[in-house]
Chain A
Amino acid sequence: MEMNKKIYLVEDTADLRTLVEFLLTRMGFNVESFATAGDYLKRIAITLPDLVILDIMLPDGNGIEICNHQKADPATSQVPVLLMSANIYSKEEIQERADVQFISKPFDIDDFANKVKGMAGMAPA
């Protein structure tokens, strides 16, 4: 079960944040939301989650850069990242692999749920 699994959600648009939070909470995840990259980076420096859902276009940062940085840092490299973007070019800029994936806006909520389930399950507890 996904109980106790922790997901960090980084999304600056409040209504979308609320929607995703609602979906994830209903699925049984423990969700912490951040509206800025700054707040998120402070938090992950203290505690690692089981999955990060990261918007690419953030007011104070770029999700791809944050992801790359995180994957290069041994402290955070184990955390899987799901990137969300409306910009389909972004998909070409990232190397998709098992623990780094991409979902483009607008997404179907069932597809989204399946992707999250798959990724959160592979993370170390």
Chain B
Amino acid sequence: MPDISTAPIDQVFLDELVHFSPFAIYTCDRDGYLTWFNQAAVDLWGRTPVIGKDMWSGSWKTYYPDGRLMNQDDCPMALTLKSGKSHERSEIKIEQPNHQFKDLLVFPRPVFSNSGKLAGAINTLIDITEQKKAEKRQSTLSAIVESSDDAIVSKNLDGIITSWNNGARRIFGYTEEEVIGKHITIIIPPHLRSEEDMIIRNIKAGKKIDHFRTIRIAKDGSERHISITVSPVKDGKGNIVGASKIARDVHEQLLRENEIRLANQRLEIMNSIGTGLLGKVDEHAILQKVTDATTKITGAAFGAFFYNMVSDNGESFMLYTLSGAPKEAFERMGMPRNTEIFHPTFAGEGVIRVDDITKDPRYGKNPPHNGMPHGHLPVVSYMAVPVVTPGGSVLGGLFFGHPDAGVFKAEHQNMVVSIAAQASVALDNSRLFQEVKALSIKKDEFIALAGHEMKTPLTILKGYLQLLEKGEVDPLKRMFLDKSVHQTNRLNTLIEELLDISRVEAGKLSLQYEYFDFRKMAYDIMETFRYTNETHEIIVVNTKKDLFINADMQRMEQVMNNLLGNAIKYSPKANKVYLDMDIQNEMLTVKVKDEGIGIGKQDQDKIFTRFFRVSENKNISGLGLGLYLSKEIIERHGGTISVTSSKGEGAEFCFSIPINKQQGN
């Protein structure tokens, strides 16, 4: 060793040097027993060894660098003494009694006497724990950076790329060698260059940029949808010297988001169809909605629903609804016929979905057109879904076309099939509804007809009875005849009520307005009640002079007859009915109060509906039409009618009408 000092060293200096060296130093005799150690060694071992007793080393436990426990006899110091050769730069790991681990670089050297015999050995221990930790962290970080799917790129404040990981190579296509030292704009599309200025501005201000969605250009010129996070890189003194950028390829994510958005859109459409169809009973509205929605959902250029019309020459299909194209586009065409393409749909054999119909073996076989007729909207992608009723018959088909190939996918098919199923249920409901409506109309027609048929015999009966009355008859026979005439009148009232129902239903209950004294009319009615009902007394509560109103007098008589008749009929154990009539604020208000059986809360809304009769009153006769008609008449006069009652405590019916409503408004 020529270049280090060979001059003798003073013993005092030497002692100072070894005792207070920051490096752990110890010595062993040739048998391996520790003979000396300094304070740094004690600190490193975490214990004070016993001179002449501890062998090879003062450490509590020793390990190989990979963590295996090392036999003390195999430690570098032991090997040095056993072999007489130095084992400098050996790496070991030791454990202190407090279970702290230290990584050490050890330098055992044999020491020989002047006679050349092995006298012992010295060892210097260097603590490399921190260095090892840093190395490990560094390699972990590198591994993370290198194995990341994300592009991790660093650049200086001038935008020059300083590092480039595998992820960056994968996403952008450039190798590390190709881009290090180049400006970052190599991957920024020209129209987005200003972004880089913004990013650098933020970085210089110490701000991080989080999840910024943008587009970069790969080596092959294709666009990459990425999300970038850019953070400032600081030097040891905290100065910002560059930026690290993590870019995530969000192309897949965008596709997925797009899928989700589309799926949501479809769900919305499906849902709107579901709820939309629920309330619909109009066949055309149902089919139009279904055609529109399925055309939208499939992305078809146009869609149509054709009815399955069976004619003499097999099948013919009638265009019913169209979406995405004007009706004129099909007007000049003949209806599609029973061809190989169309037949399976109208036979309900299932869905036909073809990427390019013009290449389909079934296409173009039928004269005269041998394919689409001239002027037909261009169809390449084709899909046809049969609409089958719950009963299994084929109602028709939904047809979709698009000028590009391969537009319709399995998912479109599934959705259309499910909508078609909903539609067929809705159409079935529509058909049932139409049937019920037709039956109801028939019923009203029947009631009207039956009523009229009854009137002629009634006229004859009444006429002859009246003639008999006019002749010479004894008082008993006269009474019989009176009662008979009275009953024909009652019969007529019942028939009129039935006819009124069909008039109301047909919207033909017309009012003939006239100016009359309601009070006088009421008194006239009370007069007839006095003749026919001896059981009850009608007491007028209010004694105002006259109550002139503009209304249909006959109809108002009908209402009063009904209300007073009910009051008497439903109070078999009482003998009084109270009538209150008054005009205030241009409104006539009439109240009819009885002390009868009353009406339970649950029935109070229903008594004004037709044919309704309170169930426990079966022994009281009636058709259940009077209050329905009264309500109709009052409302047609622009008024309201209501009831106040509780069970067993009588009822009060009250109606109000404007006194000056003009005919027709």
Contacts and interface: CB of A to CB of B under 8 A. Distances in A.
Contact of B459 (A88, A89, A105, A110): A105
Query: Which of A57, A87, A92, A105 lies at the interface centre, i.e. has the most chain B CB atoms within 10 A of its CB?
Result: A105
B510 A105 contact: no
Given A22-B467, A106-B463, A106-B488, 18 more contacts: A13-B456, A15-B460, A19-B460, A19-B464, A19-B467, A86-B453, A86-B456, A86-B459, A87-B452, A92-B510, A106-B455, A106-B459, A106-B461, A107-B463, A108-B466, A109-B463, A109-B466, A109-B467
B462 interface: yes
| Contact residues on A (Cβ < 8 Å of other chain), bracket | 10 to 19
Interface in B500-556: 503, 508, 510
Interface string B485-506: 0001000100000010001000
26 contacts: A15-B460, A16-B463, A19-B467, A20-B463, A22-B467, A86-B451, A86-B452, A86-B456, A86-B459, A88-B499, A88-B503, A89-B503, A89-B508, A105-B455, A105-B456, A105-B458, A106-B455, A106-B488, A106-B492, A107-B463, A108-B462, A108-B466, A109-B462, A109-B463, A109-B466, A110-B466
Contacts, number: 50
B438 to A, nearest CB: 21
Interface string A35-46: 000000000000
Interface in A5-34: 13, 15-16, 19-20, 22-23
B553 to A, nearest CB: 16
A87 B467 CA distance: 24
A106 B499 contact: no
| Contact residues on B (Cβ < 8 Å of other chain), bracket | 20 to 34
B447 to A, nearest CB: 13
Contacts of A15: 460
A83 B84 CA distance: 149
A113 to B, nearest CB: 10
A86 B463 contact: no
A87 B454 CA distance: 11
Contact of A19 (B452, B463, B499, B508): B463
Interface string B432-462: 0000000000000000000111011011111
Contacts of B467: 19, 22-23, 109
Nearest to B454: A86
A86 B495 CA distance: 11
B224 to A, nearest CB: 80
A108 to B, nearest CB: 7
A96 B467 CA distance: 28
Interface string B83-102: 00000000000000000000
Given A92-B510, A106-B488, A86 B464 contact: no
Nearest to A19: B463
Contacts of A86: 451-453, 455-456, 459
Query: Which of B452, B461, B464, B510 lies at the interface centre, i.e. has the most chain A CB atoms within 10 A of its CB?
Result: B452
Interface in A36-84: 57
Q: Which 3 A-B pairs have the closest CB atoms?
A: A86-B455, A106-B459, A105-B459
B456 A16 contact: yes
Contacts of B503: 88-89
